[in-house]
Amino acid sequence: MNNLIEFHDIRIRLAGKPLLNITKLSVPMHQCTLLTGRNGSGKTTLFKILSGLLKPDHIRVHYQGLQMNWRQAKPYIQRDVIYLHQQAYLFDASVADNIAYGLRRAGEKKAAAQRKVIQALDWADLTHLAHRPAKQLSGGEKQRVALTRARILAPRLLLLDEPTASMDGEAKQQTSLLLQRLKAEGVSIIISSHEAHTVENIADQHLTLDNGDIRPLKQSAAHDKVTVLNPLKNTP
């Protein structure tokens, strides 16, 4: 199977203690990876490293045929990897302006950005919220705006930190629907979660972070057509 990106020897110490010591993390192309791990196991820390927000003590990145250290890889991963917080942060502006943020930073003209935003709002079924102040949205709505704001930048890899935590059933379903669409569009996704079953039906592999390293847990549901049709069967 083709890998989009590989990370080798990720090491970081926080507050004097070694937190992560990961030999290898491969992100398969166009696939969704579920990453579980106890509270404090380092999932958020790992995601911040993978998205270029946090400098590890050591890392080697294998991407687009290049072997790179942190400094060399940073521009690539900051361009192609987007990290989404556990609780989405939306800027103090309208929903539409939030979604346009990345496009504008990439130098897109206002009119062109606006056209893309209208399409993106439609894609996520958020058109009715376009002009609402983003700070007033519910947690679930914020998460969907954040996903749309990321998608519009055509990232190669999305890192979602517990996207469905503290969401009710309907919000979870709406988020899950967007994730499925993203995956179908060819975006690779890693989702960290406590509750494996809510996203398991779109995950292709299941990894767990334990004692600072990553190991595979099992083949996940999306490979097993029968369980996809009956997601209840996945509940551990």
Partner 1 sequence: MDNNCFTPPRSKTLLAVTEISLASLTAFQLLLSGNSEIWQIIALSFGVSVSAIIIATPVALIVSFTLAFFQFPLRRTLIALFNTFMSIPAVIIGLTLYLLLSRSGPLGHLGLLFTSKAMVIGQILLCFPLLVAMSHASFQAADRRAWETAITLGAKPWRAFFTLMHELRFGLIAAVVAGFGRIIAEIGCSMMVGGNILHATRNIPTAIALETSKGEFAQGIALGMVLLVLSLSLNAGVSIFQGKGELRA
Which stretches of the chain bind partner 1, using CB under 8 A? 48, 51-53, 78-79, 81-83, 85, 87, 89, 91-92, 101-102, 105-106, 133, 135-136, 149-150, 153
Spatial distance between the Cα atoms of 152 and 130, rounded to a whole number of angstroms: 15
Residues found near Mg ion in the complex (CB under 5 A)? 44
Backbone angles phi, psi at 16, to 5 degrees: 85, -10
- CB of residue 40 vs partner 1: minimum separation in angstroms? 18
By a kind-dependent CB cut-off of 5 to 8 A, residue 89 interacts, out of ligand ATP, Mg ion, partner 1, none, with partner 1
Residues found near ligand ATP in the complex (CB under 6 A)? 14-15, 19, 37, 39-45
- CB of residue 154 vs ligand ATP: minimum separation in angstroms? 27
Element (H, E) at 7: strand 3-14
At 186, list the tokens.
Answer: 């060819």
Residue type, 59: I
C-alpha distances (whole Å) from 197 to each of 88, 117, 172, 200, 221 are 21, 32, 11, 5, 9
- CB of residue 199 vs ligand ATP: minimum separation in angstroms? 15
Spatial distance between the Cα atoms of 103 and 137, rounded to a whole number of angstroms: 22
By a kind-dependent CB cut-off of 5 to 8 A, residue 78 interacts, out of ligand ATP, partner 1, Mg ion, none, with partner 1
